[in-house]
């Protein structure tokens, strides 16, 4: 890996983690609102819909975690280059 590639990779990883943090924060905020509405409603149909929506938020959170994990994995070639 060239120094230019390492710099580009480092910049890209930083962008990914910044995005993941921002997305995670916004997803968490909106998920909290959905959950509050679910607990407050007496409408069973709305409650069921909100449970499904909460599940979708969980899936988004899992996807963000996978994004961060794969970003960390992308740094492995740079670490191997440093050892050589």
| 60-71 per-position pLDDT tens digit | 999 999 999 999
Q: What is the pTM of this model?
A: 0.77
Element (H, E) at 6: helix 3-40
pLDDT at res. 82: 62
| 22-49 per-position pLDDT tens digit | 999 999 999 999 999 999 999 999 999 9
Query: 3-83 adopts what CATH topology?
Result: Methane Monooxygenase Hydroxylase; Chain G, domain 1 (1.20.58)
pLDDT band at 3 (very low <50, low <70, confident <90, very high): confident
* Per-position DSSP letters for 64-80, written without gaps between them: HHHHHHHHHHHTHHHHH
pLDDT at res. 6: 87
Element (H, E) at 23: helix 3-40
């Amino acid at each position: 890996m060239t120094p230019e590639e390492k710099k580009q990779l480092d910049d890209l990883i930083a962008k990914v983690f910044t995005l993941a943090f921002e997305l995670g924060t916004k997803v968490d905020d909106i998920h909290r609102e959905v959950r509050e509405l679910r607990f407050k409603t007496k409408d069973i149909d709305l409650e069921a819909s909100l449970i499904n929506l909460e599940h979708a938020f969980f899936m988004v959170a899992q996807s963000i975690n996978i994004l961060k994990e794969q970003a960390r994995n992308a740094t492995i070639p740079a670490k191997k280059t440093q050892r050589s």
